[in-house]
């Protein structure tokens, strides 16, 4: 009689249930960060051409916002193109390397109808801080940006509201991505221009890559030559009249395009939630009538027996009590133990099924 009994579990014995849990990424699980409390983290001025970190009034960091240019536009090229860092080009190539199948390719945006497709040289990027993400960013986000609707003086405030087009889904090396269109909370706008794609949403890496061409068409703002709304000036966050998203392509070190996006959000809001998969696997440990009717307990064996003879009362009609089961991996290593509150009687006339549930 074997002293230890193993039984292989098959696919029909294992069931995994996945529950998706969403929660706001902001303090106390809030789902929205309103523009009135948006500020930026204190960073070195040399980083302004790379990114700004959006925080709330309490200093909690939530997003990095960046501007990228395939031709280094907006970088500080005062030392000469080949001797400069080319910050915006570094940002563009960084995100291309992360999400594009060809890291040397340009970002390309195609409207839903397929009628308009173009390669984009300049991009804005919103990236959720990794500490605020669980498994991914939930698709029902809403970005509200506001600014002037024309270049130069005389423009009026206009608002652009963007969300994820949940009906779109395309593969990439960074996981599936989706189109970003006008609308809110994952529901598209049904008005004019609803099929315009403003960017791509990569939930697994928590990034939204936006076309600067499309954003500036809706919220051009004041050009850098007539206002300083592209610069960072401390407590006023670089807010200038006619702020907008028309990229500042100057290369003299004065451009601060990430701040343009911060300013647009300060007049709007950001609604983002994190998504987490909670997995629970149930292992059905089935003990049929002819199985597990013996025990490895030494008291089950006749004292002095060298052949493993069981004690006389158990001959022909053994009964044991199951107090738990052990789950082993393919190397026969014990990885989990499930204990019963009350031991269950087991014999040739009785079958048991124990459901062992493990999270993760």
Question: How many distinct structural domains can be found in the chain?
Answer: 2
Residue 307 belongs to what domain range? Answer: 11-18+277-359
pTM: 0.76
Tokens (6 digits) for 247: 């990229």
In this structure, the number of other CB atoms found within 10 A of the CB of residue 127 comes to: 21
Sign of CA dihedral 32, 37, 41, 46: positive
Tens-place pLDDT, residues 16-36? 988 888 999 998 888 999 999
The burial class, CB within 10 Å (0-12 / 13-18 / 19+), for 352 is middle
The pLDDT tens digits of the residues spanning 34-71 come to 999 999 987 776 677 799 999 998 999 999 999 999 99
pLDDT tens track for 156-215:
778 999 999 999 999 999 999 999 999 999 999 887 778 999 999 999 999 999 999 999
Band (310; pLDDT cuts 50, 70, 90): confident
pLDDT bin (cut points 50, 70, 90) of residue 231 is very low
Indicate if 217 and 291 belong to the same structural domain: no
Residues 80 and 99 in one domain: yes
Residue 3 pLDDT: 44
Percent of the chain with pLDDT over 90: 57
Does some domain include residue 303?
yes
* Residues 244, 343 within the same domain: no
Same domain for 324 and 247? no
Average pLDDT of the chain is 86
Residue 172 lies in a domain: yes
Where does a domain end: 246, 271, 296? Answer: 271
């Amino acid at each position: 009689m074997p002293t230890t009994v193993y039984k292989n579990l098959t696919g029909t014995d294992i069931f995994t249930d996945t529950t998706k849990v969403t929660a706001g990424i902001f303090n106390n699980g809030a789902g929205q960060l309103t523009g009135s409390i948006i500020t930026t983290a204190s960073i070195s001025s040399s980083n302004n051409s790379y990114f700004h970190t959006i925080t709330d009034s309490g200093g909690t960091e939530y997003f990095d916002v960046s501007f990228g240019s395939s031709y280094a536009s907006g970088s500080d090229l005062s030392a000469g193109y080949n001797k400069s860092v080319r910050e915006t080009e570094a940002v563009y190539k960084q995100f291309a390397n992360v999400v594009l199948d060809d890291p040397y390719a340009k970002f390309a945006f195609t409207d839903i109808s397929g009628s308009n497709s173009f390669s984009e040289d300049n991009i804005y990027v919103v990236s959720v801080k990794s500490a605020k993400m669980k498994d991914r960013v939930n698709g029902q986000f809403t970005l509200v940006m506001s600014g002037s609707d024309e270049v130069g003086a005389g423009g009026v405030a206009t608002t652009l509201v963007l969300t994820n087009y949940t009906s779109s889904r395309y593969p990439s090396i960074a996981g599936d991505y989706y189109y970003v269109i006008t609308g809110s909370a994952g529901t598209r706008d049904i008005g004019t221009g609803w099929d315009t794609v403003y960017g791509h949403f990569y939930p697994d890496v928590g990034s939204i890559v936006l076309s600067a061409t499309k954003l500036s068409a809706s919220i051009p703002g004041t050009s850098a030559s007539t206002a300083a709304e592209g610069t960072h000036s401390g407590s006023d966050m670089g807010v200038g009249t006619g702020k907008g998203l028309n990229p500042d392509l100057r290369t003299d070190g004065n451009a601060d395009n990430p701040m343009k996006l911060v300013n647009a959000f300060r007049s709007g809001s950001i609604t983002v939630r994190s998504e987490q998969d909670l997995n629970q696997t149930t292992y059905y440990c089935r003990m049929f009538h002819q199985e597990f009717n013996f025990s490895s307990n030494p008291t089950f064996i006749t004292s002095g027996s060298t052949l493993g003879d069981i004690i006389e009362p158990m001959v022909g009609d053994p009964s044991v009590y199951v107090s738990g089961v052990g789950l082993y991996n393919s190397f026969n290593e014990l990885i989990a133990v499930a204990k019963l509150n009350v031991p269950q009687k087991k014999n040739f006339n009785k079958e048991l099924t124990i459901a062992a549930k493990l999270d993760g």
